[in-house]
Chains A and B, each alone.
Chain A
Amino acid sequence: MNADELAARIREHAPDVLAARGEVTAIVERHDLIDTLEWLHDQPDLAFDLLSSITATHWPGADPAFWVDYELRSMSLRHRARVKVGLRGGDERTPSVVGLYPTANWHERETFDFYGIVFEGHPDLTRILLPDDWDGHPLRKDEPLGGVPTWFRGATMPPIDERGMA
Chain B
Amino acid sequence: MAAPEMAAARDDLAEVPEFRDPATGELRQETMIINMGPQHPSTHGVLRLVVELDGETVIRCSPVIGYLHTGIEKNCEYRTWTQGITYVTRADYLSPFFNELAYCLGVERLLGIEAPERARLIRVLVCELNRVASHLVWLATGGLELGAVSMALYGFREREIILDVFEAITGLRMNHAYIRIGGVLMDLPDEGPRKIRDLLRVIPRRIDEYETILDENPIWRERNEGIGVLSAEQALAFGVTGPLLRASGVAADLRKDMPYCGYETFEFDVPVRTEGDAYARYLIRIAEMRESLRIAEQAIDRLDGTPGPVMVDDPKVGWPPKLSVGPDGIGNDPAYLRHIMEESMEALIHHFKMVTQGAQVPAGEVFSAVESPRGELGYLLVSDGGNRPYRVKIRDPSFVNLQALPTAVEGYLIADLIAAIASFDPVMGGVDR
- Asked whether any CB of chain A lies closer than 8 Å to the CB of B100, the reply is no
- Asked whether any CB of chain B lies closer than 8 Å to the CB of A96, the reply is no
- Asked whether any CB of chain B lies closer than 8 Å to the CB of A102, the reply is yes
CB atoms of A102 and B380 under 8 A apart: no
CB atoms of B382 and A57 under 8 A apart: yes
CB atoms of A131 and B74 under 8 A apart: no
Question: In the complex, which of the residues A69, A73, A101 contacts B380, with contact meaning CB atoms closer than 8 Å?
Answer: A69
**Residues in A whose Cβ lies below 8 Å from that of B299:** none
CB atoms of A75 and B257 under 8 A apart: yes
**Residues in A whose Cβ lies below 8 Å from that of B258:** 78, 80
Bound state CA distance, A75 and B75, in angstroms? 32
Bound state CA distance, A82 and B381, in angstroms? 13
**Residues in A whose Cβ lies below 8 Å from that of B322:** none
CB atoms of B78 and A145 under 8 A apart: yes
Which of A8-16, A30-38, A48-56, A86-94 forms contacts with chain B? A48-56
- Asked whether any CB of chain B lies closer than 8 Å to the CB of A138, the reply is yes
Question: In the complex, which of the residues A20, A102, A160 contacts B237, with contact meaning CB atoms closer than 8 Å?
Answer: A102
Residues 375-390 of B, flagged 1 when their CB comes within 8 A of A and 0 if not, give 0101010100000001
Main secondary structure of the interface of A (DSSP, over half): mixed
Bound state CA distance, A75 and B236, in angstroms? 10
Nearest opposing residue in chain B for A22, CB measure: B109
**Residues in A whose Cβ lies below 8 Å from that of B364:** 20-21
- Asked whether any CB of chain A lies closer than 8 Å to the CB of B206, the reply is no
- Asked whether any CB of chain B lies closer than 8 Å to the CB of A155, the reply is no
Interface size on A, residues (CB 8 A): 36
Bound state CA distance, A57 and B365, in angstroms? 11
**Residues in B whose Cβ lies below 8 Å from that of A78:** 257-258
Looking at the assembled complex, report how far the CB atom of A106 sits from the nearest CB atom of chain B, in whole angstroms: 5
Question: In the complex, which of the residues A102, A114, A127, A130 contacts B238, with contact meaning CB atoms closer than 8 Å?
Answer: A102
Give residues 24-63 of A contacting B (CB, 8 Å): 25, 49-53, 55, 57
Bound state CA distance, A71 and B73, in angstroms? 17
CB atoms of A129 and B432 under 8 A apart: yes
Looking at the assembled complex, report how far the CB atom of B112 sits from the nearest CB atom of chain A, in whole angstroms: 8
**Residues in A whose Cβ lies below 8 Å from that of B20:** none
**Residues in A whose Cβ lies below 8 Å from that of B73:** 114, 139
CB atoms of A129 and B65 under 8 A apart: yes
Residues 253-274 of B, flagged 1 when their CB comes within 8 A of A and 0 if not, give 0000110000000000000000
Interface size on B, residues (CB 8 A): 40
**Residues in A whose Cβ lies below 8 Å from that of B393:** 53, 55, 69
CB atoms of A103 and B376 under 8 A apart: no
Residues 64-79 of B, flagged 1 when their CB comes within 8 A of A and 0 if not, give 0110010101110110
Question: In the complex, which of the residues B69, B74, B395, B403 contacts A52, with contact meaning CB atoms closer than 8 Å?
Answer: B395
Q: A129-B65, A129-B66 are in contact. Are A49 and B367 (CB under 8 A)?
A: no
**Residues in B whose Cβ lies below 8 Å from that of A75:** 236, 250, 252, 257
Looking at the assembled complex, report how far the CB atom of B167 sits from the nearest CB atom of chain A, in whole angstroms: 30
- Residue contacts A-B, CB under 8 angstroms, 8 given: A21-B110, A21-B366, A71-B380, A75-B252, A106-B402, A106-B403, A129-B66, A131-B66
Q: Which A residues lie at the B interface, using CB under 8 A?
A: 20-23, 25, 49-53, 55, 57, 69, 71, 73, 75, 78, 80, 82, 101-103, 105-107, 110, 114, 127-131, 138-139, 145, 160
Q: A23-B365, A73-B376, A103-B403 are in contact. List 17 more A-B contacts (CB 8 A).
A: A21-B112, A22-B109, A52-B376, A52-B378, A53-B393, A55-B380, A57-B390, A57-B391, A78-B257, A80-B258, A103-B237, A103-B238, A103-B400, A106-B399, A128-B66, A129-B433, A139-B73
Closest 5 CB pairs of A and B: A103-B239, A53-B395, A129-B66, A55-B393, A75-B252
